[in-house]
């Protein structure tokens, strides 16, 4: 695996740590900004909104201007670092909110460009494995980045955590500038060529599966803390290590899935959704049992977010893995995340109890499984037309 792929993984780690870390420093930010903790929570939503809406728009603009992926990624990382520096220096909530939107927009486009570059520097048969390394940065952000940022906040203040992300983003720019090959003008995809990929109905089917899978995961994950304390009976002091177990399971599952996602994309996704559906249902039934809950939490971690390399490999095989396809896919994943969390809360709001998010997650996982079944058993992991599109299109070195 080229060194550049690991650098791109570190880049995603830096950006995703910034997205997550607000959750670990809400009291500090609320005190510094003079606003309620609930208002600080909106900073996470603002970042996500920037990713979902702004990222694709920026990517379209870069394609319209025919900006090579390398220059686009470097420019956006510089913009991200600048906006993050503004956030680190902010003395008012309004400035912080604007900075979070800008970092969300830049972060989403960086995500899409990183995956596009990743797809260009490895062969098609290794794209799932390479994507697992890049997405591994996202996994490590929850397992390592968030706790470290929270610890830094407790020891040196929240601004130090924000400045650390600025430093990481700037450090990533150096090897990217050195290692990403310069693209030829003829290699840069036009906006029309990228938009043409969206006429492929199999791409939309892949997007739908991604949204349902991520929605199922976050319909449950968003309420794990409440379920584990209020239903299972764990003390609040146990939540960090329980979520740590879940995070480690994510990382392990991501590595295993990434290893085999290129050759067995759809079977892995079908098997993962089947195990996830059963595990979530068993968790809902036996949530009051501590031992069973910990076991099922671990299994859900192994087969949940670890599906990311497979869903990315599927999209990369279904359409040309250009920046717009990858950025839209990132937006779909974030929409699934938000919609899943919202749907999981509907059951609680309707009075069906704290276990209801798990049943909502089961329903979404089953829908995700059903969306995959038409593609199970095909020689290629996607449509024959998608395979033909890849085979006849010369491998681009556009970066």
3-state secondary structure string across 327-383: HHHHHHHHHHHHHHHHHHHHHHHCCCCCCHHHHHHHHHHHHHHHHHHHHCCCCCCCC
Contacts of 186 (CB under 8 A, 6+ apart): none
Backbone φ, ψ for residue 234 (5° rounding): -70, 145
Q: What is residue 27's predicted lDDT score, i.e. its pLDDT?
A: 80
Helix pair angle (308-318, 201-221), 10° resolution: 170
Report the b/e string of 367-381 with b at 16+ CB within 10 A: bbbebbeebeeeebb
Shared-domain flag, residues 237 and 319 = yes
Structural domain for 141, as ranges: 3-188
Instruction: Transcribe 257-284 into DSSP letters.
Output: HHHHTTTSHHHHHHHHHHHHHHHHHHHH
Instruction: Transcribe 13-48 into DSSP letters.
Output: HHHHHHHHHGGGSHHHHHHHHTS-HHHHHHHHHHHH
d(CA 180, CA 182): 6
d(CA 43, CA 22): 7
Asked if residue 397 is part of any domain, the answer here is no
Domain end, chosen from 169, 188, 207, is at 188
Shared-domain flag, residues 296 and 382 = yes
Asked if residue 48 is part of any domain, the answer here is yes
Q: What is residue 189's predicted lDDT score, i.e. its pLDDT?
A: 60
Shared-domain flag, residues 122 and 236 = no
Q: What is residue 145's predicted lDDT score, i.e. its pLDDT?
A: 82
Shared-domain flag, residues 145 and 213 = no
Shared-domain flag, residues 43 and 159 = yes
d(CA 134, CA 127): 10
Shared-domain flag, residues 218 and 272 = yes
Domain end, chosen from 164, 188, 212, is at 188
**Residue 199 per-residue DSSP state:** G
Helix pair angle (146-156, 3-21), 10° resolution: 50
Asked if residue 399 is part of any domain, the answer here is no
Residue 19: CA count within 13 A, CB half-sphere: 26
pLDDT per residue of the chain (399 residues) written in tens, 0 to 9: 789 999 999 999 999 888 878 877 878 888 888 888 778 877 877 888 888 888 888 888 887 788 888 889 999 999 999 999 999 999 999 999 999 999 988 988 898 888 888 888 887 778 777 877 887 787 788 778 877 887 888 889 999 999 999 999 999 999 999 998 876 544 556 677 778 888 889 999 999 999 999 999 988 887 888 899 889 998 878 877 887 888 889 888 888 888 887 788 899 999 999 999 999 999 999 999 999 999 999 999 999 888 888 888 888 888 777 778 878 888 888 788 778 888 888 888 888 888 999 999 999 999 999 999 998 876 544 443 334 333 333 343 333
Quick count: other Cβ atoms within 10 Å of Cβ 289? 14
Domain end, chosen from 154, 188, 222, is at 188
Contacts of 322 (CB under 8 A, 6+ apart): 63, 116, 189, 193, 194, 197
Q: What is residue 356's predicted lDDT score, i.e. its pLDDT?
A: 92
Shared-domain flag, residues 181 and 203 = no
- For position 381, which CATH number holds? 1.20.1250.20
- How far, in Å, are 200, 246, 308, 324, 325 from residue 196 at the CA level? 8, 39, 25, 11, 10
Asked if residue 12 is part of any domain, the answer here is yes
Quick count: other Cβ atoms within 10 Å of Cβ 143? 17
d(CA 189, CA 22): 36
Planar angle of CA 119, 124, 125, nearest 5 degrees: 125
Shared-domain flag, residues 233 and 208 = yes
Asked if residue 230 is part of any domain, the answer here is yes
Shared-domain flag, residues 267 and 301 = yes
Asked if residue 398 is part of any domain, the answer here is no
Count structural domains, the chain.
Answer: 2
Shared-domain flag, residues 306 and 166 = no
Contacts of 243 (CB under 8 A, 6+ apart): 224, 225
Asked if residue 207 is part of any domain, the answer here is yes
Shared-domain flag, residues 47 and 141 = yes
Asked if residue 217 is part of any domain, the answer here is yes
Shared-domain flag, residues 178 and 261 = no
């Amino acid at each position: 695996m080229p060194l550049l792929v690991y650098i791109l993984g570190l880049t995603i780690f830096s950006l995703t740590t910034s997205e997550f870390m607000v959750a670990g420093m809400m009291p500090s930010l609320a005190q510094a900004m003079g606003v309620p903790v609930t208002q600080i929570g909106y900073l996470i939503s603002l970042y996500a909104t920037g990713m979902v809406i702004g990222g694709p728009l920026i990517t379209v603009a870069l394609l319209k201007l025919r900006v090579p992926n390398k220059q686009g990624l470097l420019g956006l990382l510089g913009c991200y670092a600048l906006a993050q520096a503004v956030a680190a220096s902010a003395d008012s909530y309004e400035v912080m909110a604007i900075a979070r939107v800008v970092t969300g927009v830049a972060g989403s486009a960086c995500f899409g460009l990183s995956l596009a570059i990743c797809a260009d520097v490895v062969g098609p048969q290794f794209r799932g494995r390479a994507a697992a390394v890049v997405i591994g940065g996202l996994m490590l952000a929850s397992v390592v980045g968030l706790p470290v940022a929270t610890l830094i906040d407790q020891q040196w203040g929240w601004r130090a955590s924000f400045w650390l992300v600025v430093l990481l983003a700037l450090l990533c720019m150096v090897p990217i500038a050195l290692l990403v090959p310069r693209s030829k003008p003829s290699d840069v995809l036009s906006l029309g060529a990228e938009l043409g990929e969206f006429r492929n109905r199999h791409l939309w089917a892949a997007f739908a599966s991604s949204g349902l899978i991520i929605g199922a995961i976050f319909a449950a994950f968003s309420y794990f803390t409440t379920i584990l304390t209020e239903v299972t009976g764990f003390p609040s002091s146990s939540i960090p290590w329980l979520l740590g177990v879940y995070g480690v399971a994510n990382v392990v599952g991501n590595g295993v899935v990434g290893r085999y996602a290129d050759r067995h994309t759809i079977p892995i996704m079908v098997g993962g959704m089947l195990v996830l559906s059963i595990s979530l249902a068993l968790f809902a039934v036996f949530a009051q049992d501590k031992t069973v809950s910990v076991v099922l939490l671990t299994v859900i971690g192994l087969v949940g977010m670890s599906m990311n390399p497979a869903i990315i490999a599927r999209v990369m095989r279904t359409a040309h893995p250009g920046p717009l396809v990858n950025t839209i896919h990132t937006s779909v994943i974030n929409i699934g995340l938000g919609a899943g969390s919202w749907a999981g809360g509907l059951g609680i709001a309707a009075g069906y109890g704290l276990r209801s998010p798990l049943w909502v997650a089961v329903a979404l996982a089953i829908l995700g499984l059903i969306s995959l079944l038409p593609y199970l058993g095909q020689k290629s992991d996607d449509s024959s037309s998608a395979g033909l599109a890849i085979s006849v299109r010369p491998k681009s070195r556009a970066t």
